[in-house]
């Protein structure tokens, strides 16, 4: 196993910067680049020791630093680890990292520290995945939810479900393989109840997925509407600052601006658009094409209409595009009157709101509607939750196999037949927690991490 090193603090100047080294030679690599005051070598010290000293390149002292030593297996990665805390200058940290690399370490891949923690059994795959969610959390709810998974809320739930199937499978195999022994016969009705219970736990995880994503990852959201209906004004209301340029001239919001906005418990990944009307203007057309594709790739549409003016064909075309998708129709400019009513538009969208984007109080109205439509208002962040598509797919696969097992019981099939479906249900659960998972999946999971984590 190689010894890896990386800068673990952000790629920017800061008060303190940390270069982390992990692997069998971590402490000797650190000894070559760091001299503790009092000249005691780090390799002579036990784990959890801290020493003040200097990072040096031969005779050339680079910085004062503090070295923290962790000895395997009592470290984040489960290996020997040294953290060199220096002054957080970017150039300085790059020099210190370079020194470590010249003295026996190799550069860490993205997420390699956490990957090693997973491979060394310090955490399961769901816990490892939650590290990234925790780092990128935009608010308390997201952080709470990610921390819950990191602390094992999801693994605990999945392990309980898995144990149900493992003990059923063991019992069935024993009964089939040793018919002469006094193994009690399986009560299929009781088994069906257990399987149905396990299935409903998985279904509740699956049902809460979208709300969890709204909280942790954010919902890709697009704001569409004709020019001048107030899209930029709405952006500014949601972001709480003048990010979009609000103008009186139709069609001037040409570029698509993307921003992340936290509205109550919900994180919206917002795109402002150039409107979706046809246009001959080349620059604007590029924006419009992009807007249309955004519409198809967004999970939530905020369709804006100037409610103080009658609906026209362009408004209807926009509303048509919302049909069947999670969407909110915002009848804007209600301070100027309400020519368009809720009844006129409700058939196209999931929800209709009448607001004035210019009025700051409209934020609360929007927040309530968003939490309502996304199901985040009562979201329990301490409960187990799925944090990505990989986990979601594992649960869906398990549910399909449980369904097969239940129908095998209902049809009165042999125990062997039930057992095949039970075994098949265990597989995706083992994959979810990472107990039985291919290298390709593991590499894919950690490739999304940042270097240094």
Provide the binding-site residues for ligand GDP, judged by CB under 6 A.
225, 227-233, 246-248, 253, 332-333, 335-336, 356-358
Is residue 219 within 8 Å of 267, Cβ to Cβ?
Answer: yes
Positive or negative torsion for Cα 233, 234, 237, 243: negative
Q: Which is nearer to ligand GDP, 225 or 428 (CB)?
A: 225
Q: Which is nearer to ligand GDP, 277 or 333 (CB)?
A: 333
Q: Least separation, in Å, of the C-beta of 248 and ligand GDP?
A: 5
Q: Least separation, in Å, of the C-beta of 344 and ligand GDP?
A: 18
Q: Least separation, in Å, of the C-beta of 228 and ligand GDP?
A: 4
Q: Which is nearer to ligand GDP, 229 or 408 (CB)?
A: 229
Q: Least separation, in Å, of the C-beta of 335 and ligand GDP?
A: 5
Collapsing DSSP to helix, strand or coil, 175 comes out as helix
Q: Which is nearer to ligand GDP, 357 or 425 (CB)?
A: 357
Token code pair at residue 264: 């109550």
Collapsing DSSP to helix, strand or coil, 315 comes out as helix
Is residue 28 within 8 Å of 5, Cβ to Cβ?
Answer: no
Q: Which is nearer to ligand GDP, 56 or 358 (CB)?
A: 358
Q: Least separation, in Å, of the C-beta of 306 and ligand GDP?
A: 8
Q: What's the CA gap between 111 and 445, in Å, rounded?
A: 9
Q: Least separation, in Å, of the C-beta of 256 and ligand GDP?
A: 12
Is residue 344 within 8 Å of 311, Cβ to Cβ?
Answer: yes
Q: Which is nearer to ligand GDP, 248 or 313 (CB)?
A: 248
Q: Which is nearer to ligand GDP, 148 or 230 (CB)?
A: 230
Q: What's the CA gap between 144 and 137, in Å, rounded?
A: 9
Q: Which is nearer to ligand GDP, 49 or 354 (CB)?
A: 354
Beta bridge partners of 219: 268
Q: Least separation, in Å, of the C-beta of 258 and ligand GDP?
A: 15
Q: What's the CA gap between 318 and 41, in Å, rounded?
A: 70
Burial of 446 per CB tally in 10 Å (0-12, 13-18, 19+): buried
Q: Least separation, in Å, of the C-beta of 369 and ligand GDP?
A: 16
Q: Which is nearer to ligand GDP, 17 or 230 (CB)?
A: 230
Q: Which residues, other chains included, contact 256 with Cβ-Cβ below 8 Å and sequence gap of 6+?
A: 271, 272, 273, 274, 287, 290, 291, 294
Is residue 129 within 8 Å of 441, Cβ to Cβ?
Answer: no
Q: Which residues, other chains included, contact 199 with Cβ-Cβ below 8 Å and sequence gap of 6+?
A: 399, 402, 403, 406
Chain centroid to Cα 339, Å, comes to 42
Q: Least separation, in Å, of the C-beta of 355 and ligand GDP?
A: 7
Q: Which is nearer to ligand GDP, 224 or 445 (CB)?
A: 224
Q: Least separation, in Å, of the C-beta of 234 and ligand GDP?
A: 7
| DSSP label at residue 336 | G
Is residue 257 within 8 Å of 336, Cβ to Cβ?
Answer: no
Q: What's the CA gap between 308 and 318, in Å, rounded?
A: 17
């Amino acid at each position: 196993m190689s010894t890896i090193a990386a800068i673990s603090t952000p790629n920017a100047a800061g008060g303190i910067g940390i270069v982390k080294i992990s692997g069998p030679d971590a402490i000797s690599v650190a000894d070559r680049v760091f001299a503790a005051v009092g000249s005691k070598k780090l390799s002579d010290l036990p784990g959890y020791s801290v020493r003040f000293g200097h990072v040096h390149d031969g005779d050339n002292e680079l910085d004062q630093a503090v070295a923290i030593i962790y000895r395997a297996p009592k470290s984040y990665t489960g290996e020997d680890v040294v953290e060199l805390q220096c002054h957080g200058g970017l150039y300085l940290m790059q020099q210190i990292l370079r020194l470590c690399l010249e003295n026996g370490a190799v550069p860490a891949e993205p997420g390699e520290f956490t990957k090693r923690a997973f491979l060394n059994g310090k955490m399961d795959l769901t816990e490892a995945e939650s590290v990234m969610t925790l780092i990128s959390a935009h608010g308390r709810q997201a952080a709470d939810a990610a921390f819950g998974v990191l602390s094992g809320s999801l693994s605990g739930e999945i392990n309980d479900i898995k144990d149900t199937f493992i003990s059923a499978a063991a019992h069935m195999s024993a009964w089939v393989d040793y018919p002469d022994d006094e193994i009690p016969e399986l009560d299929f009705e009781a088994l069906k109840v257990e399987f149905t219970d396990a299935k409903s736990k998985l279904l509740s995880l699956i049902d809460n997925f979208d709300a969890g994503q709204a909280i942790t990852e954010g919902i890709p959201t697009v704001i569409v509407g004709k020019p001048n209906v107030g899209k930029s004004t709405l952006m500014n209301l949601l972001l709480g600052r003048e990010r979009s340029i609000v103008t009186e001239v139709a069609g001037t919001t040409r570029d698509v601006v993307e921003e992340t906005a936290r509205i109550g418990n919900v994180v919206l990944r917002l795109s402002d658009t150039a409107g979706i009307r046809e246009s001959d203007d080349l620059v604007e057309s590029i924006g419009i094409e992009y807007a249309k594709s955004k519409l198809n790739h967004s999970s939530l549409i905020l369709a804006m209409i100037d409610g103080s003016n009658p609906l026209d064909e362009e408004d209807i075309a926009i509303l048509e595009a919302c049909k069947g998708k999670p969407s909110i129709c915002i009848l804007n400019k209600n301070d100027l009157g309400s020519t368009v009513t809720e009844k006129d538009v409700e058939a196209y969208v999931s929800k209709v709101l009448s607001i004035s984007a210019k009025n700051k109080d409209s934020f609360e109205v929007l927040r309530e509607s968003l939490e309502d439509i996304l199901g985040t208002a009562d979201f329990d962040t301490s409960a187990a939750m799925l944090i990505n598509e990989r986990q979601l797919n594992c649960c869906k696969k398990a549910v399909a196999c449980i369904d097969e097992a239940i129908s095998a019981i209902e049809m009165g099939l042999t125990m062997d037949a039930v057992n095949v479906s039970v075994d098949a249900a265990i597989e995706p659960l083992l994959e979810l927690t990472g107990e039985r998972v291919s290298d390709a999946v593991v590499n894919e999971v950690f490739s999304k991490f940042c270097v240094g984590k």
